[in-house]
Amino acid sequence: MSKLGYDDTPLLPGEQWQVHDFRRPQPRVVAPGKECCQPPADAVILFDGSNLSGWTGRDGDAAWKVENGYMEVVPRTGNISTRERFGDCQLHLEFACPTEIKGESQGRGNSGVFMMGLYEIQVLDGYDNPTYADGITASVYGEYPPLVNSCRPPGEWQTYEIIWTAPRFSGVDLVSPAYLTLLHNGVLVHNHVELMGPTGHRNVYPYQAHAPTGPLMLQDHGDLVRFRNIWYRPIGTYDQE
- Note the residues at the interface with Mg ion (CB under 5 A): 110, 112, 219
Q: Return the DSSP state at 220.
A: -
Closest separation in Å from C-beta 169 to Mg ion: 26
Q: Where are the alpha helices (DSSP H) in 129-207?
A: none
Closest separation in Å from C-beta 7 to Mg ion: 21
Which of 89, 218 has the CB closer to Mg ion? Answer: 218
Q: Which residue is nearest to Mg ion (CB)?
A: 112
Q: Which of 177, 154, 158 is nearest to 167 (CA)?
A: 177
Closest separation in Å from C-beta 119 to Mg ion: 12
Beta carbons of 209 and 173 less than 8 angstroms apart: yes
Neighbours of 102 (CB within 10 A): 12
Closest separation in Å from C-beta 120 to Mg ion: 6
Closest separation in Å from C-beta 114 to Mg ion: 9
Which of 112, 215 has the CB closer to Mg ion? Answer: 112
In angstroms, rounded to a whole number, what is the distance separating the alpha carbons of residues 97 and 127? 10
Which of 133, 212 has the CB closer to Mg ion? Answer: 133
Q: Return the DSSP state at 144.
A: B
Which of 200, 234 has the CB closer to Mg ion? Answer: 200
Instruction: Map residue 70 onto helix, strand or coil.
Output: strand
Sequence-ordered list of residues with C-beta below 8 angstroms from that of 225, at least 6 positions apart, any chain? 72, 73, 95, 96, 97, 98, 109, 110, 111, 123
Which of 159, 219 has the CB closer to Mg ion? Answer: 219
